[in-house]
Structures are given as structure tokens and as C-alpha cells.
């Protein structure tokens, strides 16, 4: 390569970066998104609201019969749905699918006024009907007695499309417990669908309900992780944050972290990492070493039987968990300064957690386990979303392809699209460091970056945004506010 050619390539990469785009030719191959085509934009809607998606409420998207269905939190925290037909390369929606009782009017402009816990999870059943669970932050006291936890706010609600594969009309199915939050769907190969959630606000059990008839009915809640006051300090209750996913064959994995929930002087402290799995054939649960477990699991029992690592005084946070072809689990946890760490089961012990990348803070994302030694993580942080790859079982990690980046915004990811692929791996929301409203652009990211949409279809706010911009809140100029806005752009305001 001549000196002039090298200079031209460097200049081209700098121009791409200035336009919020990752340079081509990085490890991983495919260049990330370039400028949108004429009349097109890179986002599929502009009406995401607050923190529209999260890795915790999942899936937020599923690809079914070559259509990716996406659920997210829109205006007034209500659930909205869009769909992308990969063969026709056409978008439909957004369509409002239900009412979230926690939404406020008029539009909130302060992040503290948005609950966010009622974001929707989505699943497509065996007959093609689309289901959403949304709207709960533990369920309000007006709903009655919560025997498995403490009520909070909202109502966990289940809606289903009136027709298979059709997002245009919806109806409520009143068949799940209303005392829920952090709703998560897991669909098995035989068509059974499990709904996992926390049965109330912080001081509540984690439970599941099982459906064998495409979510038309559910069994009563069964407790998995028990909340309780500590004997030594009744002000502190043992509580949890958990993440569930399909394992190998007829199994379900659970990875979770511990939350010492203080009644007075509450904090967001979380510690340690834990793992167990369910055998759906007989509803039994086991640890990674195959030992049968007694339910519900308490803090003391978890420390003895399901501990992946003890974080000591260093805080941890939930991540995601997937298994390899041998059924062995691979886990991501967020720890320390918001950096993702990876561990895997070696057959007789857990590998010590390894930092995937220290390039940025407030990281989050998901992963694909290709083999026991080959894993790809898709992580947000530092104003970008990119792959990080390992070929030695997580001991070392190499930077992979970047799918989107910006010098003015951060990206908050959902979990990987269920049955997704190169045409659409993940849905992310864009959080600008400084803006006078809480509406977010949403992107479906594939190997080529964001999937484009006609600007007329992606613009759904109309006068709503114009009115907010015409009456902006008072400017925040002090250092503390600037720091808060920067953290918000990176992490989605940390509403958990």
C-alpha cells in the first residue's frame, strides 16, 4: 500500500467516525452501518420512551417465519409493536398493543418520573399468535393480597394478537398473576411456554408459570428464589435479580445475583453470581454439578449450592446465560465499574470471571455460544455496540465488528433477538447525552448495521416532539447534571 493510499484510508475512517459510524475492515468482517439511503433513516421508530428495551425483560424481539416482531415501551410507557419482513424488506407498525397503568399524562421529561419496569416481553406461540407481557412493577395494593411478596405499582398484563402473525389488533388474556415485574418468556421445543418474573416489588419471590396450550392458560405461580428478612437485621431482606433462558434439550437455565434490600435506606447493591437449571420433564432443579436442589432457594442455600463466584464487597449485576452443545453454561455478569465479566462451567468447577473489555464503562449485552471455547458477545458501551470474540474459552477477548456508534449518544441493548441472525441480531435504543425529552430512536441491528426504514414510517411523534421542544425544561449546566446526563446516555438511567 502506498503512503498516499494509507493516508486516504485513515482520512476515510476519520470521516466515518465523525458521522457516528464504525470504520470498515475491523475484526469480524462486515463494515457497520453507513449513511442511510435517500429518503431512509437508520432507526425503525422514534417513539421509544424512557428506557424502551432492556436485557432483563426478554425477549423484546423474535424472528418467526422470516418476520422479526419487536416489542418496546412507547409513549406513556404503553407497549408498542413493530414488525420487519426480511424477505420483502418492509416494516409495519408501530401499533399500540395495550395500556400500562403506570403511564403518565402529559409526557414526562424527568427520567425519575418514568417507572420503566413495565417494558414488554414478547413471544410467538406454536400457532403464530404473538403474546406480550407488560405493565407490572409488582402490582399495586389495590389488586389484593400478594402472598409471595410485596406489592408495588402497575399490573402485569398479558395481551395476544387477534390473528396469527398480525400486529394490527390485540386482546387481553386475563390469565397471569398481576403481581409481576421483569417478565421473561422461555419457549421450549415441544411448544410449552414458561413465564418467569419477580412476584412483586423488591422484597418478593421469583416465580414461574407454565403453559402447555400456547399461553391460553397458565399453571399457578411456583416459587424459585425466596425473599425473607435476615435474622440478624430485620431491616435487610434477601432479594434477587434473575435471568432465564432455554438450555440444552428440555432444560431451562437461571443465572442470578443477590440484592440485600433495605427497607429503610434502600440502595441498589447487588453481589455475587449464581446459577441453576430446570429439568422440564419433571420440574426438578439442579446446580451446575448435577445436585438436586430444594425450592424455593434461600440466600444461605444459594451460597452453599449454586454460587458461581463471591464478589465480596465488589458489586455485581445480572447479565445473560447460554449453554454450549454439551449443555454447559456460559454466563455474563456486570461488575465493578459497569464492565462485563464472563465465566463458564468447566465440568467440575466455575472458571474465574474474566473482564471481556475494559475499554468502556456501563457495558451491557448478550452473547452467542458457538462451542465450549468459541463465544461472541455483543456489548454496548462507550457510545457503540460491537462484538467481542474469544476462541480460548473466555481467557482472552478480541475486538470484533462494530454495528453502530456515535460521539453524541449511548446505546442501551435488549437481549438478542430470539431466532435472530445476521439480518437482525439485537434491538437497541439511542440515549443522547443531552436532550430535553425522553423519546428514543430504536434500531434493529444486523451484520450490516441498522436495518433501514423509510423516514415517513419511522417518524411517529409528530407534534408531540415539537411541543416538547418548543417548551424545553430549564437547562442543566452544573457538573453534577452533566455527569448524570452522560451516565444516562451510557446506561439507560439505571432503572432496575
pLDDT tens sequence across 208-252: 999 999 999 999 999 999 999 999 999 999 999 999 999 999 999
Per-residue confidence (pLDDT) for residue 9, from 0 to 100: 43
Q: Per residue in 298-347, pLDDT tens?
A: 999 999 999 999 999 999 999 999 999 999 999 999 998 889 999 999 99
How far apart CA 23 and CA 21 sit, in angstroms, is: 6
Question: For residues 59 and 19, which has the higher predicted lDDT (pLDDT)?
Answer: 59
Residue 408 pLDDT: 93
Report in angstroms the alpha-carbon separations of 346 from 330, 331, 390: 10, 12, 16
Q: How far apart are CA 183 and CA 286, in angstroms?
A: 23
Confidence of residue 35 (pLDDT cuts 50, 70, 90): low
* pLDDT tens, residue by residue, 64-119: 999 999 999 999 999 999 999 999 999 999 999 999 999 988 888 899 999 999 99
Which residue from 1, 32, 28 is spatially nearest to 16, judged by alpha carbons?
A: 32
| Average pLDDT over all residues of the chain | 90
- What are the backbone dihedrals phi and psi of residue 15, each rounded to the nearest 5 degrees, phi first? -65, -40
Q: Is a pLDDT exceeding 50 seen at residue 26? A: no
Q: Does 182 qualify as catalytic in the annotation?
A: yes
Quick one: pLDDT at residue 22? Answer: 60
Q: Is the pLDDT of residue 396 over 90?
A: yes
Q: 94 preceded by cis ω (within 30°)?
A: yes
pLDDT at site 477:
45
Residue bearing the bigger pLDDT, 237 or 29? 237
Distance between CA atoms of residues 199 and 168, nearest Å = 30
Q: Mean pLDDT throughout 450-461?
A: 96
Catalytic residue among 43, 72, 182, 197: 182
Mean pLDDT on 193-222? 97
Q: What is the mean pLDDT of residues 457-461?
A: 95
440's CB contacts (< 8 A; 6+ apart) are 46, 48, 49, 50, 52, 429, 430, 431
Percent of the chain whose predicted confidence (pLDDT) is above 90: 82
202 catalytic? Reply is: no
328, with CB counted inside 10 A (0-12, 13-18, 19+), is middle
- As a whole number, mean pLDDT of residues 392-419 equals 97
pLDDT digits over 349-366, tens only?
999 999 999 998 889 999
End-to-end CA distance of the chain: 51
Helix (H, G, I), strand (E, B) or coil at 257: strand
pLDDT at 472: 58
pLDDT in tens, 478-488: 444 445 444 54
Quick: pLDDT tens for 248-296: 999 999 999 999 999 999 999 999 999 999 999 999 999 999 999 999 9
CB atoms closer than 10 angstroms to residue 129? 19
Domain ranges of the chain: 40-491
Which of 58, 76, 117, 202 is the catalytic position? 117
Q: What is the pLDDT of residues 443-452, one digit of tens each?
A: 999 999 999 9
**What is residue 49's predicted lDDT score, i.e. its pLDDT?**
97
Question: The domain 40-491 is classified under which CATH number: 2.120.10.10, 3.30.300.30, 3.40.190.10, 2.60.40.1930?
Answer: 2.120.10.10
Amino acid at each position: 500500500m502506498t503512503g498516499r493510499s494509507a493516508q486516504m484510508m485513515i482520512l476515510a475512517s476519520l470521516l466515518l467516525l465523525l458521522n457516528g459510524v464504525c470504520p470498515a475492515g475491523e475484526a469480524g468482517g462486515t463494515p457497520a452501518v453507513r449513511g442511510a439511503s435517500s429518503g431512509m433513516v437508520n432507526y425503525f421508530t422514534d417513539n421509544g420512551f424512557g428506557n424502551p428495551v432492556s436485557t432483563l425483560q426478554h425477549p423484546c424481539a423474535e424472528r418467526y417465519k422470516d418476520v422479526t416482531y419487536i416489542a418496546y415501551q412507547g409513549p406513556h410507557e404503553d407497549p408498542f409493536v413493530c414488525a420487519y419482513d426480511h424477505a420483502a424488506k418492509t416494516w409495519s407498525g408501530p401499533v399500540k398493543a395495550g395500556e400500562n397503568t403506570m403511564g403518565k399524562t402529559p409526557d414526562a421529561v424527568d427520567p425519575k418520573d418514568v417507572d420503566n419496569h413495565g417494558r414488554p416481553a414478547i413471544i410467538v406461540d406454536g400457532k403464530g399468535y404473538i403474546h406480550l407481557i407488560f405493565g407490572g412493577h409488582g402490582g399495586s395494593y389495590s389488586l389484593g393480597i400478594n402472598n409471595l411478596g410485596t406489592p408495588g405499582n402497575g399490573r402485569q398484563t398479558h395481551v395476544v394478537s387477534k390473528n396469527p402473525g398480525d400486529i394490527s389488533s390485540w386482546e387481553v388474556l386475563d390469565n397471569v398473576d398481576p403481581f409481576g415485574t421483569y417478565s421473561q418468556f422461555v419457549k421450549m421445543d415441544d411448544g410449552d411456554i414458561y413465564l418467569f418474573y419477580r412476584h412483586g416489588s423488591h422484597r418478593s419471590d421469583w416465580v414461574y408459570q407454565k403453559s402447555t396450550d400456547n399461553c391460553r392458560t397458565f399453571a399457578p405461580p411456583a416459587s424459585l428464589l425466596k425473599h425473607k428478612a435476615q435474622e440478624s437485621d430485620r431491616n435487610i431482606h434477601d432479594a434477587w435479580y434473575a435471568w432465564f433462558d432455554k438450555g440444552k434439550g428440555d432444560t431451562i437455565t437461571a443465572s442470578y445475583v443477590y440484592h440485600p434490600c433495605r427497607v429503610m435506606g434502600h440502595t441498589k447493591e447487588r453481589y455475587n453470581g449464581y446459577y441453576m437449571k430446570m429439568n422440564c420433564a419433571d420440574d426438578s432443579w439442579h446446580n451446575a454439578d448435577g445436585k438436586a436442589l430444594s425450592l424455593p432457594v434461600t440466600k444461605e442455600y444459594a451460597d452453599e449450592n449454586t454460587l458461581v463466584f463471591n464478589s465480596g464487597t465488589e458489586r455485581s449485576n445480572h447479565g445473560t446465560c447460554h449453554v454450549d452443545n454439551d449443555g454447559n453454561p456460559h454466563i455474563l455478569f456486570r461488575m465493578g465499574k459497569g464492565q462485563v465479566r464472563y465465566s463458564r462451567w468447566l465440568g467440575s468447577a466455575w472458571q474465574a470471571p474474566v473482564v471481556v473489555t475494559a475499554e468502556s464503562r456501563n457495558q451491557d449485552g448478550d452473547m452467542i455460544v458457538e462451542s465450549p471455547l468459541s463465544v461472541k458477545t455483543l456489548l454496548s458501551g462507550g457510545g457503540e455496540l460491537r462484538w467481542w470474540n474469544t476462541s480460548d474459552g473466555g481467557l482472552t477477548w478480541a475486538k470484533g465488528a462494530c454495528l453502530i456508534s456515535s460521539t453524541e449518544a449511548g446505546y442501551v441493548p435488549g437481549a438478542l433477538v430470539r431466532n435472530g441472525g445476521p439480518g437482525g441480531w439485537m434491538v437497541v435504543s439511542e440515549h443522547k447525552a443531552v436532550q430535553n425529552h425522553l423519546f428514543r430512536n430504536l434500531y434493529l441491528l444486523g451484520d450490516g448495521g441498522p436495518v433501514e426504514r423509510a423516514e415517513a414510517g419511522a417518524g411517529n411523534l409528530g407534534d408531540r416532539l415539537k411541543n416538547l421542544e418548543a417548551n424545553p425544561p430549564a437547562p442543566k449546566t452544573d457538573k453534577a447534571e452533566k455527569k448524570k446526563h452522560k451516565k444516562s446516555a451510557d446506561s439507560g438511567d439505571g432503572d432496575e
